[in-house]
Amino acid sequence: MIKGFSKLNKQEKRNWVYNKYLSNNLQELEIFSKYDLSDEKLQLLHDDFIENTIGNYLLPFAIAPNFSIDGHYYTVPMVLEESSVVAAVSKAAKFWSERGGFKCEVQSMEKVGHIHLFYEGDKQILFNFFNQIEPILYKETEPLTENMRKRGGGISSIILKDMTDNLEHHYQVFVTFLTGDAMGANFINSCLEQMTQIIEREALIHLSEGSLEVLMSILSNYTPQCLVRAEVSAPLSEMTYNDIEGNIFARDFVRAIAVADADVYRAVTHNKGVMNGVDAVVIATGNDFRAVEAACHAYACRGGKYKSLTQAYIKEDRFHFKIELPLAIGTVGGLTKLHPMVKIALKILENPTAEILMKIIACVGLAQNFAAVSSLITHGIQKGHMKMHLVNILNQLGATIQEKEQVIAHFIDKTVSHREVVQFLNQLRSS
């Protein structure tokens, strides 16, 4: 137990961690300073992003070129650590750029917030009360929504829902918002908290019967009204992949998607592959990948069973592959204005609107899934993954540049395994 930790300066926090957990290993303490930025002002900016910062944790920043989306080519920034993801998605992007590219449509961009009420009394009295105060909720939140309304956004609707079938006495004020190019979390929560105060005030004045209690108000990260679709298609004759004939490849691909729909064990791994691509772009552009993950996985089980986020079918000798995702993201506000690498990422994407970024992210998720499933039904996923992982193994083993070149050349046409790499590297060193 330590008291007042947050009041310590950065070096004092490091020293505490060093003394308590690093067994006085000076080399481990020095790792923190090795990752410090040389630009002191920039380091202070990073330190202020969160509480109790004691160092930086770096992830690779990569790009995947050749994404043809609605007739425009994009180079997509990705931030992640997993081997083979960027290589795989780049291969898929090139494959589909030669077959007409990705086609996208944003269905809607509404985001959601809730005020959770508990009311013991006549339901009709509560609904009459709500109808009476609804105009006041719009009117008294106008100072908060003014700037958003100038940009075409604001509060779209306010509805009282009866939730008592699932939880006794529970009602929900269901509010939808349009936030333009902003993710809008702070805007939504501010509006909801203002509405909460109005409801509580008006209930004391006008709600003559029953007991009303506001439990909490918060945005929802489940955003099925903020929906984007992406699709690719090509004649079966153009679907030859890894030397597998097009009609056979397409048939097996459709079957693999059907397996993910039928089996939750496969569906989770299948959708994790989708999120490999989605999360990497969400992180690179300064958005909340945890919120996106939660929404997408909830959407995968919207029918009562967890299923694939992608769908594939063959119609009239043509292969179709598509994805539908709830993506609440933004291109203004938050880290987009603060993190220098986020600014660079958005510039590489040609400063997209939130709508265009939704399309790009959905296409990367679809491409990532195409790459993974294609590998699984042809040469297997480990062949490509382990070749990309080979460098990581060599770094773990402390291989020199010359040793890396020799090992990589040796395994160019062989299956990579940790055991085989260790064995061959030992042979090199002993000779």
What is the C-alpha to C-alpha distance for residues 50 and 58, in angstroms, rounded to an integer? 15
**Catalytic pick from 288, 324, 359, 387?**
288
82: annotated active-site residue: yes
What is the C-alpha to C-alpha distance for residues 150 and 350, in angstroms, rounded to an integer? 24
HSE-CB for 30 with a 13 A CA cutoff = 3
410: annotated active-site residue: no
420: annotated active-site residue: no
Kindly state the tokens that stand for 431: 């000779």
**Catalytic pick from 10, 272, 297, 339?**
272
CB 85 within 8 A of CB 62: no
**Catalytic pick from 13, 111, 359, 385?**
385
Type and span of the H or E element at 92: helix 85-97
In DSSP notation, 204-267 reads: HHH--SSEEEEEEEEEES--TTEEEEEEEEEEGGG--BTTB-HHHHHHHHHHHHHHHHH-HHHH
CB 298: neighbour CB atoms within 10 A? 16
What is the C-alpha to C-alpha distance for residues 393 and 399, in angstroms, rounded to an integer? 9
Q: Which one, of 158, 151, 224, lies nearest residue 194 by Cα?
A: 158
Only one residue has tokens 């944003």, namely 106
**Catalytic pick from 82, 134, 193, 355?**
82
Type of residue found at 285: T
* Residue burial 138-176, b: 16+ Cβ < 10 Å; e: rest: eebbeebbeebeeeebbbeebebeebeeeeeebbebbbb
Cα dihedral: 301, 222, 289, 101 (round 10): 70
Type of residue found at 418: H
Phi, psi (degrees; rounded to nearest 5) at 36: -70, 145
Kindly state the tokens that stand for 241: 């992949």
What is the C-alpha to C-alpha distance for residues 405 and 397, in angstroms, rounded to an integer? 14
385: annotated active-site residue: yes
Q: Which residues are catalytic?
A: 82, 272, 288, 385
